């Protein structure tokens, strides 16, 4: 699709301004995005470190409490003392353990309960009257999974506390009492309020898309978002499994932290869309600035471009008039710059072109007529040469009557072929037929009974105009070079004329000896054993070919179809016109 130069200039200006602003905006955006990304990751790591620090303090306090309880000689002695037959003694012994454990619980605001399980599965707690509950409590899956663990934290689970269930997670320690000669091991269970973890993550959770906390055994302690997409959950799991502190994909960033005790790990998921939300707003405003700059550029540049384009438009219109043949065109440009020089040169060029065209038309007319005269002068001696040979032959054979008949036919032919003007170039197909019939009389006199001429032609085509003497050389070639040299008793020559779409087709076909048509075209090799082509054959075909090119150019064709011993078909295709 063509574009006006004015459109191209405007488009180029808009394109240059747009690309410049967009590229600068892209680099600024990319640079700012990297800064925000690095700063956000740094801030997130700081928040995770703060969370780890608080969780580590909880862990340390729980572990110290466990160590104090395990190393307390009085508690150890009371728990491992032999059972008395006196129920009252056993009751007061449990009360003493309860009071001691209660003191440890009172020291922390997040430890809800302490349970000691002896090798004989007797339970001691800081709450009295819960023996049966604790017996069932310690049969739950979370505790059963941890029986073979030396010291670890459990997954979250419910715990009945005073007036109802509370969510807790437990620190379970398997130990042997100090100073006691026992092979079996006891268990210390410290139940920690789950709300303590929630409080630690409460302030930081809103800064992340998701934050998760895992124990050393891989149990999930806390997940801030229960509706996280499965793809993000899988990405977080793979980041934790890799052990790397940082992982990133197209949508999210995962940060991990393992600075806590007991193998605890936490992972935080950052959403890039939220991370870059502020810079995206800045980029949106930058797009508005780009659009505004383009509008301002157009407002300023448009009048300049219009004034610059006026002389070019006048020059373009003048060139279009010249293109359709109006060589009297001129253009007046008074811009005082290179365009004025261009307009002056255009006017001079048009004047010179007009003079050159007038001279070229005259020269071409003379040249064309000279070429046609030359070609016709070539065909006439050729025809006379062959006809007079026949007269000479008859005279030598003492066949005077036939010689007179041939001479009369020759005179009749010459009367119709010696023309001037347009009549020397073109003739009706009926006249061509009559000339061939006369010529056939001449050749049948020389070669009696050796060939027969057949016409296959619609009478409606007899008035069509064709190049003069276009068929006679072909019939002559068929007789002299096709039929006569063959061993046929009577050869057949068929002359056809018919319409094929937008073409008038003329054909001359014989069943004579044929010829070899080489790949390079219709300049054929005659005879066998490398014999040279006969000059007369070449003159006839080349003459027709040149005349077709002169009259019709590429719209006319000469085609030769022949094989040695199979006859020859020569086809001429002329453009069909409404004029006969």
Return the higher-pLDDT residue of 401 and 463.
463
Residues 92-97: what's their mean pLDDT? 87
Q: Is 141 helix (H, G, I), strand (E, B) or coil?
A: helix
| DSSP string covering 29-70 | HHHHHHHHHHHHHHHHHHHHHHHHHHHHHHHHHHHHHHHHHH
Categorize the per-residue pLDDT at 1 as very low, low, confident or very high, splitting at 50, 70 and 90: low
Residues in the chain: 580
The residues with which 497 forms a beta bridge, in sequence order, are: 457, 506
pLDDT at 138 over 70: yes
Instruction: Tell me the C-alpha distance between 124 and 138, whole Å.
Output: 12
The per-residue pLDDT for range 374-393, each reduced to its tens digit, is 555 555 566 677 678 878 87
The per-residue pLDDT for range 468-495, each reduced to its tens digit, is 888 988 998 899 889 998 888 899 999 9
Categorize the per-residue pLDDT at 32 as very low, low, confident or very high, splitting at 50, 70 and 90: confident
Beta carbons of 403 and 387 less than 8 angstroms apart: no
Instruction: Tell me the C-alpha distance between 15 and 123, whole Å.
Output: 83
Minimum mean pLDDT among 72-86, 143-157, 230-244, 563-577: which range?
72-86
Q: How far is CA 524 from CA 477, 501, 517, 538, in A?
A: 12, 30, 5, 8
The per-residue pLDDT for range 263-288, each reduced to its tens digit, is 899 999 988 887 777 667 777 777 88
How would you class 190 by CB atoms within 10 Å of its CB: exposed for 0-12, middle for 13-18, buried for 19 or more? buried
- Whether the pTM exceeds 0.85: the reply is no
Cα dihedral 46, 47, 53, 58 in deg (nearest 10): -170
Locate 260 and state its tokens: 């806590």
Mean of the per-residue pLDDT values of the chain: 81
pLDDT at 402: 79
Return the higher-pLDDT residue of 437 and 290.
437
Within 8 A by CB and 6+ apart from 288, the residues are none
How would you class 500 by CB atoms within 10 Å of its CB: exposed for 0-12, middle for 13-18, buried for 19 or more? exposed
| DSSP string covering 490-503 | SEEEEEEEEEETTE
Instruction: Tell me the C-alpha distance between 112 and 404, whole Å.
Output: 149
pLDDT at 416 over 70: no
pLDDT at 262 over 90: no
How would you class 456 by CB atoms within 10 Å of its CB: exposed for 0-12, middle for 13-18, buried for 19 or more? exposed
Instruction: Tell me the C-alpha distance between 452 and 493, whole Å.
Output: 6
The residues with which 211 forms a beta bridge, in sequence order, are: 268
User: Which range is most confident: 188-192, 214-218, 415-419?
Assistant: 188-192
Domains of the chain, earliest start first: 72-197 (3.30.450.20), 327-376 (no CATH), 381-517+539-575 (3.30.565.10)
Task: Work out the number of other CB atoms within 10 angstroms of the CB of residue 198.
Answer: 13
How would you class 162 by CB atoms within 10 Å of its CB: exposed for 0-12, middle for 13-18, buried for 19 or more? exposed
Instruction: Tell me the C-alpha distance between 473 and 381, whole Å.
Output: 12
Locate 300 and state its tokens: 């300023």
DSSP state of 449: T
pLDDT at 556 over 60: yes
The residues with which 115 forms a beta bridge, in sequence order, are: 125, 189
pLDDT at 381: 66
pLDDT at 235 over 50: yes
Categorize the per-residue pLDDT at 529 as very low, low, confident or very high, splitting at 50, 70 and 90: very low
Instruction: Tell me the C-alpha distance between 290 and 17, whole Å.
Output: 8
pLDDT at 528 over 50: no
The gap from C-alpha 361 to its chain's centroid, in whole angstroms, comes to: 52
| DSSP string covering 338-389 | HHHHHHHHHHHHHHHHHHHHHHHHHHHHHHHHHHHHHHHHHHHHHHHHHHHH
pLDDT at 163 over 90: no
pLDDT at 100 over 70: yes
Within 8 A by CB and 6+ apart from 460, the residues are none
The residues with which 257 forms a beta bridge, in sequence order, are: 266
32: number of CA atoms within 13 Å, CB side? 15
Locate 375 and state its tokens: 């070609």
pLDDT at 362: 76
Q: Is 259 helix (H, G, I), strand (E, B) or coil?
A: coil
Instruction: Tell me the C-alpha distance between 158 and 506, whole Å.
Output: 109
The per-residue pLDDT for range 168-205, each reduced to its tens digit, is 999 999 988 876 666 778 899 999 998 888 888 877 77
Strands 426-428 and 220-223: unpaired
pLDDT at 51 over 50: yes
Return the higher-pLDDT residue of 561 and 316.
561
Return the higher-pLDDT residue of 421 and 56.
56
The helix (H) or strand (E) run that includes residue 458 is: none
Instruction: Tell me the C-alpha distance between 171 and 189, whole Å.
Output: 6
Return the higher-pLDDT residue of 396 and 538.
396
pLDDT at 537 over 70: no
């Amino acid at each position: 699709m063509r574009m006006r130069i004015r459109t191209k200039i405007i488009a180029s200006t808009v394109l240059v301004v747009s690309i410049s602003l967009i590229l600068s905006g892209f680099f600024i955006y990319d640079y700012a995005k990297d800064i925000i990304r690095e700063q956000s990751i740094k801030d997130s790591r700081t928040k995770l470190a703060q969370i780890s620090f608080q969780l580590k303090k909880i862990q340390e306090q729980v572990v110290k409490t466990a160590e104090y309880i395990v190393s307390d000689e009085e508690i150890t002695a009371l728990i491992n003392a032999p059972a008395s037959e006196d129920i009252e003694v056993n009751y007061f012994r449990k009360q003493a353990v309860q009071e001691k454990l209660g003191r440890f619980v009172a020291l922390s605001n997040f430890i809800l309960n302490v349970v000691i399980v002896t090798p004989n599965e007797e339970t001691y707690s800081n709450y009295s009257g819960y023996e049966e509950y604790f017996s069932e409590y310690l049969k739950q899956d979370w505790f059963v999974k941890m029986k073979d663990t030396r010291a670890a934290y459990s997954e979250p689970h419910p715990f009945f506390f005073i007036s109802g269930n509370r969510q807790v997670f437990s620190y379970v320690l398997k130990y042997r009492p100090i100073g006691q000669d026992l092979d079996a091991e006891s268990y210390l269970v410290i139940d920690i309020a789950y709300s303590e973890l929630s409080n630690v993550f409460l302030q930081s959770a809103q800064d992340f898309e998701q934050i998760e906390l895992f124990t050393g055994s891989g149990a999930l302690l806390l997940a801030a978002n229960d509706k996280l997409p499965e793809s993000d959950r899988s990405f977080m799991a793979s980041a934790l499994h890799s052990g790397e502190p940082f992982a990133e994909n197209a949508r999210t960033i995962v940060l991990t932290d393992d600075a806590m005790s007991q193998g605890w790990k936490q992972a935080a998921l950052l959403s890039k869309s939220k991370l870059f939300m502020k810079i995206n707003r800045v980029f949106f405003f930058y797009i508005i600035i780009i659009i505004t700059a383009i509008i301002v550029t157009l407002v300023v540049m448009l009048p300049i471009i219009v004034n610059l384009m006026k002389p070019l438009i006048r020059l373009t219109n003048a060139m279009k008039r010249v293109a359709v043949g109006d060589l009297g065109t001129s253009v007046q440009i008074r811009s005082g710059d290179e365009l004025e020089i261009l307009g002056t040169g255009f006017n001079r060029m048009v004047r010179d072109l007009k003079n050159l065209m007038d001279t070229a038309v005259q020269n071409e007319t003379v040249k064309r007529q000279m070429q046609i005269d030359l070609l016709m002068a070539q065909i006439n001696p050729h025809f006379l040469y062959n006809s007079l040979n026949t007269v000479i032959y008859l005279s030598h054979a003492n066949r005077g009557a036939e010689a007179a008949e041939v001479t009369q036919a020759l005179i009749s032919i010459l009367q119709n072929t010696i023309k001037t003007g347009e009549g020397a170039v073109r003739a009706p197909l009926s006249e061509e037929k009559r000339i061939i019939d006369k010529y056939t009389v001449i050749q049948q006199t020389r070669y009696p009974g050796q060939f027969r001429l057949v016409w296959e032609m619609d009478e409606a085509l007899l008035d069509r105009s064709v190049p003069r003497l276009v068929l006679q050389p072909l019939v002559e070639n068929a007789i002299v070079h096709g039929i006569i040299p063959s061993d046929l008793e009577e050869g057949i020559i068929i002359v056809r004329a018919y319409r094929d779409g937008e073409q008038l087709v003329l054909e001359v076909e014989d069943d004579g000896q044929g010829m070899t048509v080489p790949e390079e075209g219709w300049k054929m090799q005659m005879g066998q054993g490398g014999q040279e082509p006969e000059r007369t054959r070449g003159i006839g075909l080349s003459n027709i070919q040149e005349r077709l090119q002169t009259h019709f150019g590429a719209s006319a064709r000469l085609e030769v179809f022949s094989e040695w011993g199979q006859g020859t078909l020569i086809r001429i295709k002329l453009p069909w016109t409404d004029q006969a």
